Amino acid sequence: MTEALLELARSVGREAAMYVNRVRPKGRVDVAATKSSPTDAVTEIDRACEELIRARIKAARPDDGFVGEEGDDVIGTSGVDWVVDPIDGTVNFIYGIPMYSVSIAARQDAEVVAGYVVNIASGAEWGAVRGGGSWRYDGDDRLLLSAPSVARLSHALVATGFNYVPEIRTKQAEAVARLLPHVRDIRRIGSAALDLCALAEGQYDAYVEEGLKEWDLAAGGLIASESGLLLSGLDGEPDERLVMVAHPSIAEEYFDLVRACGF
């Protein structure tokens, strides 16, 4: 069942990525509206991409629920819900920076059981099933991911992101400034889903972000945890308040440091 959910996520995600590549104009993409703040943009292509994903999933599994970034929630009756970000990294998409993704997760009885992320611009794809590992796709082959251990927290490369609301950003910037002297460096790429896949691949050592929505986290979070990384919130499960990710070799020390920095 979980594999079937993942295969559906992959076939719909690939179609969605092809659609976005086909319709994206050259240069900058027009902003259609803004959401939580004047810099939190959405384009007509985000909306159309989500419509495509909704339609394909509904056709295949009409009784499932759906939670998407750009539309109303659908309450299902099957116990399966889809959690979808049609374009994670919308600002990169608008500017033409090739780091934006489709993120599709399936939740069963409120637990994420399958996750799929595709970098729309490059075509790189990742997948995971709960208890079955995570991988990068090489065609239809699965290259299993095992996040590397970290010898010293002071050498950790840490990825992060910032909320769109100026008051929250001010607090995040202050917390990042306190963190920076204790780690190797900070990266801010602009797609949480791609950040979480990069962590699983060992391209970063740790991650912290406040204000992630469930569609930013669901698929990438499973890919990261199935690669052996630990995810935590401020006091328990990761959530919108705080998401921290690190390899078990530094996790306890890193999570304490993040809290001490005032995130």
* 190 contributes a contact to ligand IPD by CB under 6 A: yes
* 90 contributes a contact to ligand IPD by CB under 6 A: yes
Region near ligand IPD per CB under 6 A, out of 22-30, 113-121, 136-144, 204-212: 204-212
State the binding string over 101-130 for ligand IPD (x if CB under 6 A, else -): ------------------------------
Q: Which is nearer to ligand IPD, 127 or 161 (CB)?
A: 161
* Ranges within 56-85 binding ligand IPD (CB under 6 A): 69, 85
> Do the Cβ atoms of 45 and 69 come closer than 8 Å?
no
* 211 contributes a contact to ligand IPD by CB under 6 A: yes
* 89 contributes a contact to ligand IPD by CB under 6 A: yes
Instruction: Give Cβ neighbours of residue 163 (< 8 Å, ≥ 6 apart).
Output: 36, 169, 172, 210, 211
* 192 contributes a contact to ligand IPD by CB under 6 A: yes
125 backbone dihedrals φ, ψ, rounded to 5°: -130, 145
Cα–Cα distances (Å) from 106 to 7, 67, 97, in that order, read 11, 10, 28
Strands 125-129 and 206-209: unpaired
Residues of this chain that interact with ligand IPD (CB under 6 A) are: 69, 85, 88-90, 161-163, 190-192, 209, 211-212, 216
